[in-house]
């Protein structure tokens, strides 16, 4: 027991002192989220409107301005029309010099034929603003629409992304960390040197697993913590549940790492094997984007990926506040995977 | 004198190749015993069978009264091993490594005393990666001493070292012997064997072709009327090298 504790402490110490390891397991995932936080998916629901105003009047513009769906730019006619042709504008509105709120001039609207949805919306909004302008000059009573906004939890892309990236980094540090780490220990004769001591070899493996799971727990806590502090993560669940799911997933990926280190003789052999396993999961397990766009058969296959179970489990806890009971299908999936992979690891792992 | 190690008809086969062909030898307490031979002669395989790292195909090895193939765990507790080109964990200091190795033998180790033994006390807080070649070899001897072994196995301890570092390591090995330990080492350097070893076994093609003190082997050869093509002068080039560069260590 004492030896196990010392081995765990030593291996944890080695991890903390390894700058590259901290970079890969903690900083890189955070950096990825930081990068993705610049991707403005919310910007997709807007209409970009160029306004060319030849008149002195700004009544109409004042009415359009507060409408958040519109992204308004002001410019001269030729440049705005060029922008329209380049696809930078969806709608360009020309207000003639003679324009007055009480007048009967016609305003000209250029529409981008490539963006029917946006131009349709832009047209309705501008027509509605013109009607409003006319109404304001009359005193005709009219029915009004009383609106009340219901606060949804207003989830952002980061809320979707962060649990996914966390799952991915658990996978990568499990598979790459163990596979490369043990191949290196083997190749440099460190494992052989341990074999001439009377140490029980299982103690060594167990302490390696435990120290790596400790690092994993650190990953979960740091990612969720930094997410809440810096990226406005709406974390709805329990961090303890996150740790349980994380550890179960970690066991699956650590076991895959041990199996790979058993069948590889050098780093050159490990790298392609590890990539073959991790890359498809990284792109198909719904880490960055929802799997709902995958075609039927691919959707069904990816349902069974261990990374899908891990990412979905973590995500359901994080954004829906799901409990462990709620995510039993994911827990079951990970449990089955852990039995399979631990069995494979025991079969494949070699000390020499 | 006590026999610490007794090897009888030790054999190792790899398929059709017989790497070690039924060799026998014994090593006495506090002896420095050298195993010499060209590459592929079977030196390392022999050591690894004695060290419990490789199964023994036939024959027997008795170490401090224990049968190696029957009591490997107890044998491991009694031996100190420096493997050829083996390394240690990164990112643990020499002190931490020695303490960790001590724990593998359920021992609390005085790491500083061990480092002093191999003259590395100044490097107590360094990582192995920061050591020079000679320092690394000395550290792996310190690591082999954590369990206060009866016998120390050193596989090519001075390969790749400069003359200064090699001579320094000889001093360390002699001192360890003077403290009551038995040493078995392999080497490719004949002057090293001549300087260090009480007795040498020369191996070739998996056999021991002779086993005697170095001086005795030399006398025997001269007795056969052997003459060197070039008469040895009272100094050689290594003496010149050391005269010009000094005996002091370069790796500190």
Residues making up chain A, counted from first to last: 352
Residues of B in contact with A21 (CB under 8 A): none
pLDDT averaged over chain A?
88
Inter-chain contact B90–A195, Cβ cutoff 8 Å? no
Residues of A in contact with B99 (CB under 8 A): 6
Q: In this model, does residue A139 exceed pLDDT 80?
A: no
Mean pLDDT along residues A36-45: 67
CA distance B2 to chain A (A): 24
Residues of A in contact with B53 (CB under 8 A): 192, 195-196
pLDDT score at A97: 87
Inter-chain contact A18–B87, Cβ cutoff 8 Å? no
Mean pLDDT along residues A281-291: 88
Inter-chain contact B103–A13, Cβ cutoff 8 Å? no
The CB-side HSE value for A335 (13 A sphere, CA atoms) comes to 7
Q: Give the rounded percent of residues in chain B with a pLDDT score beyond 90.
A: 68
Give chain A's end-to-end CA distance (angstroms, integer).
25
Nearest to B81, CA basis, from B153, B149, B145, B136: B153
pLDDT score at B230: 75
Inter-chain contact A196–B83, Cβ cutoff 8 Å? yes
Q: In this model, does residue A40 exceed pLDDT 70?
A: no
SS3 track for chain A: CHHHHHHHHHHHHHHHHCHHHHHHHHHHHHHHHHHHCCCCHHHHHCEEEEEEECCCCCHHHHHHCCCCCEEEEECCHHHHHHHHHCCCCCEEEEECCCCCCCCCCCCEEEECCCCHHHHHHHHHHHHHHHHHHHHHCCCCCCCCCCCCCCCCCCCCHHHHHHHHHHHHHHHHHHHHHHHHHHHHHHHCCHHHHHHCCCCCHHHHHHHHHHHHHHHHHHHHHHHHHHHHHHCCCCCCCCHHHHHHHHHHHHHHHHHHHHHHHHHCCCHHHHHHHHHHHHHHHHHHCCCCCCHHHCCHHHHHHHHCCHHHHHHHHHHHHHHHCCCCCCCHHHHHHHHHHHHHHHHHHHHHCCCC
pLDDT score at A43: 54
Asked if B129 contacts B97 with a C-beta cutoff of 8 angstroms, the reply is no
Asked if B90 has any chain A CB less than 8 Å from its own CB, the reply is yes
Residue A113's pLDDT band (cuts 50, 70, 90): confident
pLDDT score at B211: 93
CA angle A310, A315, A316 (to 5 degrees): 105
Nearest to B182, CA basis, from B208, B149, B144: B149
CA distance B242 to chain A (A): 33
Whole-angstrom Cα distance, residue B143 to residue A339? 38
Mean pLDDT along residues A86-114: 87
| A244-to-A218, A257, A347 alpha-carbon distances in Å | 13, 20, 26
What pTM, to 2 d.p., does this model score? Answer: 0.78
Cross-chain CB nearest to A195 (options B53, B91, B96)? B53
Whole-angstrom Cα distance, residue A341 to residue A307? 13
Mean pLDDT along residues A9-14: 90
Asked if B245 has any chain A CB less than 8 Å from its own CB, the reply is no
pLDDT 10s digit of each residue in chain B, 252 long? Answer: 689 999 999 999 998 889 999 999 999 999 999 999 998 899 999 999 999 999 999 999 999 999 999 999 999 999 999 998 778 998 899 999 999 999 999 999 999 999 998 889 999 999 999 998 889 999 999 999 999 999 999 999 998 888 888 898 999 999 999 999 999 999 999 989 999 999 999 999 999 999 999 999 989 888 888 888 777 778 888 888 888 887 777 755
Asked if A73 contacts A80 with a C-beta cutoff of 8 angstroms, the reply is yes
Q: In this model, does residue A140 exceed pLDDT 90?
A: no
Give B 150-179 residues with CB within 8 A of chain A.
Answer: none
Residue A18's pLDDT band (cuts 50, 70, 90): confident
Inter-chain contact B53–A192, Cβ cutoff 8 Å? yes
Per-residue pLDDT reduced to its tens digit, B78-92: 999 999 877 899 889
Asked if B85 has any chain A CB less than 8 Å from its own CB, the reply is yes
Cross-chain CB nearest to A10 (options B51, B92, B105)? B92
pLDDT averaged over chain B?
90
Tokens in use for A129? Answer: 């603003």
Q: What are phi and psi of A326, to 5 degrees?
A: -65, -30
CA distance B38 to chain A (A): 22
Nearest-CA residue of chain B relative to A203? B104
Asked if B83 has any chain A CB less than 8 Å from its own CB, the reply is yes
Mutate which: A181, A196, A350, vs B, most B CBs within 10 A: A196
Whole-angstrom Cα distance, residue B184 to residue B206? 17
Per-residue pLDDT reduced to its tens digit, B186-245: 999 998 999 999 999 999 999 999 999 999 998 988 888 888 877 777 888 888 888 888
Q: Element (H or E) spanning B100, and its range?
A: helix B94-104
pLDDT score at A135: 82
Per-residue pLDDT reduced to its tens digit, A204-235: 999 999 999 999 999 999 999 999 998 888 89
Mean pLDDT along residues A148-160: 72
Q: In this model, does residue A252 exceed pLDDT 80?
A: yes
Tokens in use for A206? Answer: 């167990």
Nearest-CA residue of chain A relative to B81? A196
Residues of B in contact with A6 (CB under 8 A): 99-100, 103
Per-residue pLDDT reduced to its tens digit, A72-81: 889 899 999 8
Mean pLDDT along residues A102-108: 84
Mean pLDDT along residues A331-339: 97
ipTM entry? 0.89
pLDDT score at B47: 94
Whole-angstrom Cα distance, residue A161 to residue A174? 20
Residue A111: is it exposed, middle or buried by C-beta count within 10 angstroms (0-12/13-18/19+)? middle
- Three-state secondary structure call for residue B134: helix
CA B172 to the chain's CA centroid: 12
pLDDT score at A210: 94
């Amino acid at each position: 027991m004492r030896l196990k504790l010392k081995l765990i402490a030593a291996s944890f110490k080695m991890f903390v002192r390894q700058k590259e390891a901290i970079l890969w397991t903690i900083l890189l995932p955070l950096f990825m989220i930081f990068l993705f936080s610049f991707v403005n998916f919310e910007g997709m629901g807007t209409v970009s409107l160029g306004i060319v105003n030849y008149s002195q009047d700004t009544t109409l513009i004042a009415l359009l301005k507060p409408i958040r769906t519109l992204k308004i730019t002001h410019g001269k006619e030729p440049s705005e029309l060029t922008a329209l042709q380049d696809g930078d504008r969806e709608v360009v509105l020309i207000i003639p010099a003679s324009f007055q709120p009480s007048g009967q001039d016609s305003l000209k609207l250029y529409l981008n034929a490539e963006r029917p949805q946006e131009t349709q919306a832009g047209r309705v909004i501008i027509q509605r603003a013109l009607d409003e302008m006319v109404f304001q000059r009359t005193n005709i009573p009219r029915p009004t629409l009383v609106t009340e906004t219901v606060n949804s939890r207003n989830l952002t892309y980061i809320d979707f992304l962060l649990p996914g990236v966390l799952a991915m980094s658990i996978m990568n540090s499990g598979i790459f960390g163990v596979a490369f780490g043990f191949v290196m220990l083997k190749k440099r004769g460190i494992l052989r040197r341990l074999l001439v001591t009377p140490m029980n070899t299982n103690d060594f493996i167990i302490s390696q697993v435990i120290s790596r799971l400790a690092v994993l727990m650190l990953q979960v806590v740091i990612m969720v913590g930094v997410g809440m502090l810096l990226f406005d993560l709406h974390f709805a669940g329990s961090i303890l549940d996150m740790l349980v799911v994380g550890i179960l997933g970690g066991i699956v990926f650590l076991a895959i790492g041990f199996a790979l280190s058993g069948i590889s003789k050098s780093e050159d052999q490990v790298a392609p094997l590890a990539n073959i396993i991790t890359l498809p999961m990284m792109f198909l397990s719904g880490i960055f984007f929802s799997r709902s766009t995958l075609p039927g058969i691919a959707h069904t296959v990816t349902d069974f990926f261990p990374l899908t179970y891990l990412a979905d489990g973590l995500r359901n806890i994080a954004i829906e506040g799901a409990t462990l009971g709620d995510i039993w299908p994911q827990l079951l999936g990970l449990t089955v995977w852990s039995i399979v992979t631990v069995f494979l690891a025991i079969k494949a792992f070699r000390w020499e | 004198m006590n026999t610490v190690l007794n090897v009888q008809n030790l054999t190792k086969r790899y398929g059709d190749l017989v790497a070690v062909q039924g060799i026998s030898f014994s090593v006495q307490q506090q002896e420095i015993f050298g195993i010499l031979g060209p590459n592929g002669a079977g030196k390392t395989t022999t050591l690894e069978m004695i060290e419990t790292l490789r199964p023994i195909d036939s024959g027997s090895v008795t170490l401090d009264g224990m049968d190696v193939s029957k009591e490997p765990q107890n044998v491991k507790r009694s031996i100190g091993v420096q493997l050829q080109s083996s390394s240690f964990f990164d990112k643990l200091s020499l002190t931490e490594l020695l303490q960790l190795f001590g724990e593998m033998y359920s021992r609390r180790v005085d790491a500083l005393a061990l480092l002093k033994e191999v003259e590395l006390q100044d490097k107590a807080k360094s990582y192995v990666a920061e050591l020079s070649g000679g320092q690394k070899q000395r550290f792996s001897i310190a690591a082999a001493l954590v369990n206060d072994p009866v016998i120390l196995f050193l596989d090519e301890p001075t390969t790749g070292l400069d003359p200064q570092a090699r001579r320094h390591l000889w001093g360390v090995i002699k001192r360890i012997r003077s403290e009551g330990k038995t040493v078995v080492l392999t080497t490719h350097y004949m002057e090293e064997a001549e300087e260090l070893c009480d007795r040498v076994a020369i191996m070739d093609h998996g056999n021991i072709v002779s086993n005697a003190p170095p001086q005795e082997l030399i006398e025997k050869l001269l007795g056969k009327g052997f003459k060197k093509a070039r008469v040895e002068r009272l100094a050689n080039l290594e003496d010149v090298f050391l005269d010009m560069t000094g005996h002091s260590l370069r790796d500190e």
